[in-house]
Structures are given as structure tokens and as C-alpha cells.
Amino acid sequence: MKNGSAAYHVPLQQLRQLMLQPIRIGGLTITLLDALSADHDEGWSHPPHRHPWFEFNYVSAGGLYTTTAGDEFRIEAGQSYLIPPGIVHSHRHLEGESDEGFCLRWQIVEEARDEGMGTAEEKEFLQCFSQIRPYALKAETAAPLLALRLEMSVLSLQSAFASWITGLFEDWRASTQIHLLQAHDHSDVIVRQTLLYLNAYYANELRVEEIANSLHVSYRTLARLFKQRTGVTVIEKLSDIRIRQAKKLLIETQLTLRQIAHAVGLRNEFYFSSLFRQVAMVTPSSFRELHMSWSDQL
């Protein structure tokens, strides 16, 4: 199947010019990591997996089923979907089905600021894009990307991409109230308290049993509810938090890998390096060098 590729060939070619070029929106830095074709032959499927970046997929022809955090949904030609970092998901075709389209991968980093200087809107932006959306996005979502023209300058492309990202934010925030506690059932309370616990004590040695005891629930109950509501295990979320904090220390300080490992609650630099590579898909040293080279270019 190659019927729909013409519609996105030029936009994809233009988007590739933006790869690894940080785009700043307020106090946030968005970096497009990859822009690639996503064509899948008949009978294709992909087992449950997760990755450390945001992944936006547009389907130009055919269709497929995607499962995120246990919820399966259908994506038809002209639709798209977004997978936030760390969310377990999988894909499959119906018998005899194929699809084609493109995939964009990016990361969003909150810039280092003095304590309390980050705006509530920037935090809402991060929350908005990190929200699990187990459904196909409306057909017009990808329209600004498909409208990119061959003659556009890199500066114009950066502006268009930033406008598209902020447009998604404005659209989503208008239809949701993610800054409010929407559900007050006991399960949501347990999950939110677990997240608070992880963010407060990630620098310590933590066991899931310890968190469960503090919340007066069983280990099995906590593990089941957390995975059910977030799509990841408690340990996977703890690892994500530790690596996110480690990234800040790698960028903002000259601490050694051993010092950073201890600062985020890991026993030594060897385990830290292994976990960092597993989550961030790059070694801590390479991550630091990459951001230093970006800073030198600015």
C-alpha cells in the first residue's frame, strides 16, 4: 500500500529539517527527535512496549488498532493518535489489513529556573500532553502539519510546529479540566497519593510494600490499581521520576555519575547508567554531552 504517502511526503521531508533543533515555548523546550514514515504490511502487529518520548502517529491510508493502558481503540485513514512517554501500548491489524502514514517523536523538557518561577500554564501544558488519550484524534488534528510547504524556511517551520503544538494544548485544555480532581473515588486517591509519595521520596530506597503500608492497602491492591490507572507499574514510574531528576542534574550541575546516582536514590553509578540507558535510550554521559553541544550552538 502506497496510496496515501504523497499527501505527507513533503511535510515529512520538511519536518526532518527540525530534528534535534530545540524549540522554546515559554519555559519549555521541545525537541523533535525523529520524523519517519510508518508503513506497515498486512498482518503487522507490535507487542506491548513503551518509550521515553512523545509519539504522534498519523494514518494516511488503511487502519489499525492500538491499545494504551489496557484500552483498545481504532484509527482510520485521516486520523491520528498520541502516546505519552512511559505508557505501555501495542498495535495490531485486522486480517488482510495494512496501513501507512508517518510518526513524529519529540521530548518536552522544563527549563531550569529559580524555585517557583515556572508558570502554572507550563505545568498544565506538560500535564495535558502527558494525559493518556485512548482514542483516535479528530481528522483535522494533523491538518497544520500536512499544510507545510517545500519553500518554507527552517524558521517558518519551527514557528509552524510550535503553533501546532500549542494549538493542540489550547484545544485539549478547552475540553478538559486536568488541573482539577475530576474523580474522587478511592482508587484515584490511592494513585494520586502514590505519585505524591514517589515524587517526595524518590531519593530514598523505596519498596512498594512500604508505600502500600503507608496508604493502608495491600501490595497487590496498590500494584493493581496503579497499573490499571497509569499503564505502568509503581517501580516503572519510580524509575521514570529518578531518571527525570537525573537529567536535570546532568544538565544543571557538574556532579559525577556516582553523586547523581546517590542523589536520585540509586545504589551506585553502574546501576544508574544501566537504568538511565534503559529509560532514556542513551547513556548519562552521552546525554550530558549532547545538551552541552546544544548549549554551545545557542
Q: What is the three-state SS of 93-126?
A: CCCCCCEEEEEEEEEEEECCCCCCCCCHHHHHHH
| Distance (Å, whole) CA 93 – CA 105 | 22
Percent of the chain surpassing pLDDT 90: 45
DSSP run (H or E) holding 249: helix 234-252
User: 26-82 pLDDT, tens per residue?
Assistant: 889 999 999 999 888 988 898 888 888 999 999 999 999 999 877 899 999 999 999
Beta strands (DSSP E) in the chain are 23-25, 28-37, 45-49, 54-68, 71-76, 80-83, 89-92, 99-110
Same fold, 12-111+118-125+139-181 and 186-235: no
CATH node for 186-235: 1.10.10.60
CA distance 159 to 155: 6
**CB 246 within 8 Å of CB 279:** no
Q: Which helix (H) or strand (E) holds 289?
A: helix 284-297
What pLDDT was estimated at residue 183?
A: 44
How many residues are there in the chain?
298
Domain ranges of the chain: 12-111+118-125+139-181, 186-235, 237-296
To which CATH superfamily is domain 12-111+118-125+139-181 assigned?
Answer: Jelly Rolls (2.60.120.10)
Is residue 117 predicted with pLDDT exceeding 60? no
Amino acid code (one letter) for 100: E
Q: Which CATH class is domain 237-296?
A: mainly alpha
Query: If you average pLDDT over residues 157-170, what whole number do you get?
Result: 93
